Amino acid sequence: MSSNGKDRAVAAGLKLPIYLDNHATTPLDPRVLDAMLPYLTGKFGNAASHSHSFGWEAEAAVEAARMHVAALIGASPAEIVFTSGATESDNLAVKGVAEALADQGDHIITLTTEHKAILDSCKRLEKSKRCRVTFLPVLPDGLLDLDQFQKAFTDRTILVTIMAANNETGVLQPIEEIGRICRERGVLFHSDAVQAMGKLPIDVKTANLDLVSLTAHKYYGPKGCGALYVRQHPNVRVAPLIDGGGHEHAMRSGTLNVAGIVGFGKACEIARAEMAEESCRIAGLRNRLRDRLLAELDEVIINGHMELRLPGNLNMSFLHVDGESLMGAISDIAVSSSSACSSGTPQPSYVLKALGLSDAAANVAIRFGVGRFNTEAEIDYAATCVIEAVKKLRERSPQYSSARQNDSTGKP
């Protein structure tokens, strides 16, 4: 941004760069840090040590956190299996069910817009010839076609895995309807709820969910700590990926990350108390950003269903500019040009391509992720920064000039 823009930021008391990438990760809430600190110093026991007070203290803290995680999704504490994060949880759900239910079937249904942790797990099972996988397309707004979904089932289908909220577009899938269909057919339903948890209400019973992947760092908890919800009644069979001491109901062996789990539990406790009010405030900030951009820029596309999306998500394509140049011009704002897990690759986002976007439109997409600690002043600065950058880049864009000329003459 121009020096005048930076001067405005300083005058407004803003600290640059402004963080608007809360779908990639979120800053640690100070309340979460306060809860964790004792378990990084004096309370350092191993939760599996049952012969002294250090272990008992750690175990008690883990079980208290387990209760908070379970309460956020309407589960029983005994149904929460702690992992290192959502990627491990996704792998455990998909590969664990495939192995445990190999005698019952070998068919999995998922979407082309799922997170790489799901897609690559499914492809690994396909490559090893352990499973057949149906990768369903989505509609242009990012939603699942329920009619097509119902036709995808076979008598060998053992698992459906569909995320609650997409990590790039924020689109919310109808998980309650999906869960009802799966339950009627006796097929397990897993959802990667990483982006939705802590932002929107999720009830595993209402949605007929059998397995749910969770992680702490997407809603102001620590990195490196996640969980897999595994329904107990009737019992869902999941084969472990890691063998060892039989921790976590023998589904995930390994010494528990006590401090991380305590932080995870605190983040869930905060989310449960504040989610409704916070989501409303964040949606207001997101809409403020959207309205400014649409009011002052033409040739802009909102990617994904605008209403059925996460409160803080805004994914927009700014046509007729160079994507890399745009990202460089708005370096005062931390945003993502695609999902953070694949941002090192030059290819256009596979999620946006699945919505039918051209390479050109996908390459100029920006994902804004508004979060708990963002302010109106930051949103206004970000909007001004993007508007100035896009207008400046378009001044020397022959594609934009041509598009404007076609618009004025009515020619395609």
The catalytic site residues sit at: 341
Let me know if 114 is exposed, middle or buried by CB neighbors in 10 A (0-12, 13-18, 19+).
Answer: buried
Instruction: Tell me which residue has tokens 């969980």.
Output: 227
Residues in the chain, total? 412
Tokens of 376: 């109106």
- Taken in order 287, 293, 294, 300, is the CA torsion positive or negative? negative
Q: Report how far residue 16's alpha carbon sits from residue 10's, in angstroms, rounded to the nearest whole number.
A: 9
The string of DSSP letters for 8-72 reads: HHHHTTPPSSEE-BTTT--PPPHHHHHHHGGGGTT----TT--SSHHHHHHHHHHHHHHHHHHHH
The contacts of residue 294 (CB under 8 Å, 6+ apart) are 300
Instruction: Tell me which residue has tokens 């309370």.
Output: 43
* C-alpha 328: how far from chain center: 25
Q: How many contiguous H segments (helices) and E segments (strands) does the chain have? A: 13, 12
Give the helix/strand (H/E) hosting 317: strand 313-318
